[in-house]
Amino acid sequence: MQSDNSTLDSYWMPFTANRDFKAAPRLVVAADGHYYRSEDGRQIYDAFSGLWTSGLGHCHPHIADAVRAQVAELDYAISFQVGHPKAFELAHRLADLAPDGIDHVFFCNSGSEAADTSLKLALAYHRAKGEASRTRLIGRERGYHGVNLGGISVGGIVPNRKAFSGALLPGVDHLPHTFDLGRNAFSRGLPKHGAHLADELERLCALHDPSNIAAVIVEPVAGSAGVLPPPEGYLQRLRDICTRHGILLIFDEVITGFGRVGAAFAAERFGVTPDIINVAKGLTNGVIPMGAVLVRAEIYDAIVQGPPHLIELFHGYTYSGHPVAAAAGLAALDVYEEDGSFAQARVLEPVFEEAIHSLADHPKVIDVRNIGLMGAVELSPGPDGPGARALEAHKLCFWEEDLMVRNGGETLQFSPFLNSKPEDIQRTFTSVRRALDRVQ
């Protein structure tokens, strides 16, 4: 039975044009593999694999079985002064998967919480080392680090910040974004121009003195701002500057982790190891909310000091390391390993690249960019104002092409399953072209 629109009023939807949506709601009621089922019974191909979350496909049987068994065995365990085995096992396996030297894991419940946790760990680390003056945090324009106050303070997406500007953290600066439409339009993989933008960190060090800077946080590939791959050499320069000045480098890999760029982490793909890695989304394949912060040993060792009976870090969550989430995470790691998912993604990358760049000649397209299994198609503004054209294309894809794509600002964003079929990727962009032909 289809929903009466009046029953939709109570739910204030996140990051949604609520009035527009509720006038013609796009509802899904089931999922299986690479498809959603809409309320009116159609199979909707998911070209965004959830919300960057479900790279293994929806309702994966191994993960679903693990969750069912865990709920029946241990639904919840207190996370303060008590533990359960699966949280420790998951932390151990994540540490094994992480780059060398990153070997401790703090669990939370989302990417937003991971971002704030990583900032607090950076501050606590410097204080424990006797460098309490290191309180300044540096993010990046067009960066997205969730929606908690810490995350939007270091984040650089204007609409996420403007209503809350009076409560943002003090002592925060931003590096310039790396998007250069004039020189890097229609790049395939890493853009050629822009590595020098990392040198802005040296300017901020000169302005504030590096002894006052705690951490720099960036997404290796900016995702929510429209899929902005780093210019060649950019991340290496950031790493070098941070190392030289004793500043922690945080990679927000909530999107790029777990195969999205053809490796366990973007740190591995790009050959740059940060001090802290934030993850969520693919950690459980999107099945149960869970986030984690992975840190170098020296950060853990600096903070975990003092009398052994005293709490070392006054931070955590009721649901940190939740048993059901841990079971989902372990099952997801099983599948990634058994299916060779990260290698699958690398094989699919050139297929996806050719398919998404087939839209480069469309008259409403001003840029196409991609890295790994992440891609964006930038549209020229339409007659109805910013963002309207991309929203219209999203709705046309849903209603007329049986296709789920994500719109954000002037972009259509794509995030194929790690085990996508090449023919489905090709069909996706044939459908998107038809939708773009029809938008205003």
Same domain, 143 and 51: no
Residue 30 sits in a domain whose CATH number is: 3.90.1150.10
Asked if 405 and 414 count as a contact pair (C-beta separation under 8 A), the reply is yes
End-to-end C-alpha distance for the chain, whole angstroms: 33
Same domain, 185 and 311: yes
Same domain, 321 and 407: no
Strand partners, 172: 137
Residue at which a domain ends, from 306, 339, 372: 339
Same domain, 72 and 50: no
Per-residue pLDDT tens over the stretch 78-102 = 999 999 999 999 999 999 999 999 9
Residue for token pair 């719109």:
407
Total count of domains within the chain: 2
Residue at which a domain ends, from 298, 322, 339: 339
Same domain, 187 and 288: yes
How far, in Å, CA of 250 to CA of 167, rounded?
Answer: 23
- What's the pLDDT score for residue 106? 98
Residue at which a domain ends, from 339, 365, 397: 339
Distances (CA, A) of 330 to 67, 84, 285, 288, 324: 10, 14, 10, 12, 10
Rounded (10°) CA dihedral 333, 335, 337, 343: -110
Residue 131 sits in a domain whose CATH number is: 3.40.640.10
Same domain, 280 and 145: yes
- What's the pLDDT score for residue 3? 55
Same domain, 186 and 321: yes
Same domain, 190 and 292: yes
Same domain, 264 and 185: yes
Same domain, 326 and 363: no
Domain of 94, in residue numbers = 64-339
Per-residue pLDDT tens over the stretch 236-283 = 999 999 999 999 999 999 999 999 999 999 999 999 999 999 999 999
Same domain, 188 and 323: yes
Which parts of the chain sit beneath pLDDT 50?
1
- What's the pLDDT score for residue 4? 62
Same domain, 88 and 167: yes
Buried b (16+ CB within 10 A) or exposed e, 182-195: eebeebeebbeebb
